[in-house]
Each structure stands twice: as C-alpha cells, then as structure tokens.
Amino acid sequence: AKTAGKRQWRHYHPDLQSGMAERAKLQEGLDSSPIDTSFMVFYQPIVELTSGQVSGFEALVRWPHSTRGMVLPEQFITLAEESGQIVPLGAWVLNQAAAEAARWQESVQREGGADFVQPYVSVNVSPRQFRDAEFYRVIRRVLDLSGIQPSSLVLELTESVLMYNDERILAEMRSLTDLGIRIAIDDFGTGYSSLSYLREFPISILKIDKSFVDELGRSPEQYALVEGITHLADTLGLTVIAEGVEDVRQQELLTSMGCRFGQGYLFAEPVSAEEAEQLLLAQPLG
C-alpha cells in the first residue's frame, strides 16, 4: 500500500478464517524478533489546522515482515500486551522517537533559526507499559540519551489507564508532568471513564477520536459533540487534536468550532523518519 512509502511494502491483512493459528504464528514471530532490528517507527505530522504548519509528530510502530509485508500495530500490539513484550518494545519506540526528535530539532535549528518552535514527538504508551515499575526510569533514560527537552515529549494514554483510579497512577503522572512532559488522552470520547478525571489528572491534550471526526459533516449531533468537547477543553485549558482528518470539509468545520490542531490523511499519512524530516523542512521556517 502507498502508506508504506517508497519501499512499496504491502500491508498485512490476515483473513478472518485464519484466526487462532495465525495468531499463534504471529506470536511466535514476535517472540523470535529481536526488537532492535525487527521493527520500524513511522511518524505522522500533527498540524495546525488553519495554516497546515507541522507542530509535532505521532510515533507509530510498524513490523516489516519478510513474508507478511508491513504488519500494522492492530495485528500485534494486543499480542505484545498479553505477552508483556510491549514493555521492552514500547521503551524501544520511545528511544527511537526521542532520538528522531533530537535530529529534527537540530536540522530545524540549522535551516530555520532558533526562533522556530521545536517539533515535539508524541508516543503511544500502553496501560501495561505505563504501570510497569520501571517506566519512570525508562523515561529519564530516554531524555538523557536523546538530550531533548521534556517539553518535546508527549505521552499518549487511553482513558483505560485512568479507570484504575489508583493513587499510584496519579503519582506516576505527576512525576512525569513535573519533569515537563505532557500527557495526552488518546481516542478521547471512546472510553467509559467519567469526565471528572480531567480535573484530577495532569492532562494537557485531548485527542478526539477519528470516529467523531468521520461524521462531522453529516451529523449535526456529532458536530455538537465535537464542538462541546472543544469548548470544554478550552475552558479547562487543554489543547485539542482532531484525529483522522481526511477532507477539507472536516478541516473547515473543526477550524470553525475553534479546534486548533489535527492529524490525518488530508495532511499526511505516517511516513519514515527521513520523510518526516523532509516534510518539516519543506515548510516555511523561522
């Protein structure tokens, strides 16, 4: 598929019949894949909706496989969560993403001057990874090794992490945000937690799930919902990012309700680190 960029990788889509056997084979493949050399991280720009200016990138893991083609995360993240492999894999993604961010920032500085706002990188963190006792140390190491500012790192958590409503989760979040790292709630609106967590937890960003954005132009109810979320976020001082923006109409509607940032195929699909740098440098800098 063209999503995979210049290398012409096919995307891997197992058919429904393959079920258990295919799952077992994928698990086996995962177990025998050394993390350092078996995975790739792609990056999707997060842009300012009015100008199209790139503000940061979301890191999205890929598993290029010799016979299956490019295996997308929906095929293996759940398996990796079940086996616990998500912990080292997630740490590897964090390190890769931070190292890339450091490189982008260097080239932006070189090409555009010091005034340009440094692009950040936003990394998905699974609940199991977040609850791991070593997570804070992993983050400290990621920052030390890459040299990026904590403000250049966003961690994307789903509402399910907050549902444990555990003092430890809150303390963990505070220790991270005290460093200057920002926390985003991913797929906002699809979970079942109460909205009160928005006051209790140190959250900076809401990512409105694609399912809401999809129906924006067709359903007044959906429009009202997204507008409501945007206003709520404004009142609470949170930044909103709309996910899955695929057409200009959606971009316009989002802009008209005051939503500042978006991400989606309208702007760019996830691309390799090198292509991400090209995208960044192709825009007016400074």
For binding to ligand C2E (CB under 6 A), which residues are involved?
Answer: 44, 60-61, 72-74, 77, 86, 90, 93, 124, 126, 186-187, 244, 246, 263-265, 270
Q: Given the rule CB under 5 A, which residues bind Ca ion? A: 124, 156, 186-187, 243
Q: Which is nearer to ligand C2E, 126 or 152 (CB)?
A: 126
In angstroms, rounded to a whole number, what is the distance separating the alpha carbons of residues 53 and 215?
25
259 contact choice in Ca ion, ligand C2E, none (CB below 5 to 8 Å, kind-dependent): none
Closest residue by Cα to residue 70 from 124, 24, 9? 9
Q: Which SS3 state, helix, strand or coil, does residue 11 take?
A: strand
Q: Which is nearer to Ca ion, 108 or 263 (CB)?
A: 263
Q: Which is nearer to ligand C2E, 108 or 122 (CB)?
A: 122
Q: How far is the CB of 235 from ligand C2E (least distance, A)?
A: 25
262 contact choice in Ca ion, ligand C2E, none (CB below 5 to 8 Å, kind-dependent): none
Closest residue by Cα to residue 100 from 272, 268, 264? 272
253 contact choice in Ca ion, ligand C2E, none (CB below 5 to 8 Å, kind-dependent): none
Closest residue by Cα to residue 99 from 47, 41, 53? 41
72 contact choice in ligand C2E, Ca ion, none (CB below 5 to 8 Å, kind-dependent): ligand C2E
- Torsion on CA atoms 146, 147, 150, 154, rounded to nearest 10: -30
CB atoms within 10 A of CB 278: 12
Q: How far is the CB of 110 from ligand C2E (least distance, A)?
A: 28
- Which two three-digit tokens encode residue 15? 């058919």
270 contact choice in ligand C2E, Ca ion, none (CB below 5 to 8 Å, kind-dependent): ligand C2E
Q: How far is the CB of 111 from ligand C2E (least distance, A)?
A: 27
Q: How far is the CB of 2 from ligand C2E (least distance, A)?
A: 13
Q: Which is nearer to ligand C2E, 201 or 267 (CB)?
A: 267
Supply the DSSP string of 95-149, one letter for each residue.
HHHHHHHHHHHHHHHHHH-TTSPPPEEEEE--HHHHHSTTHHHHHHHHHHHH---
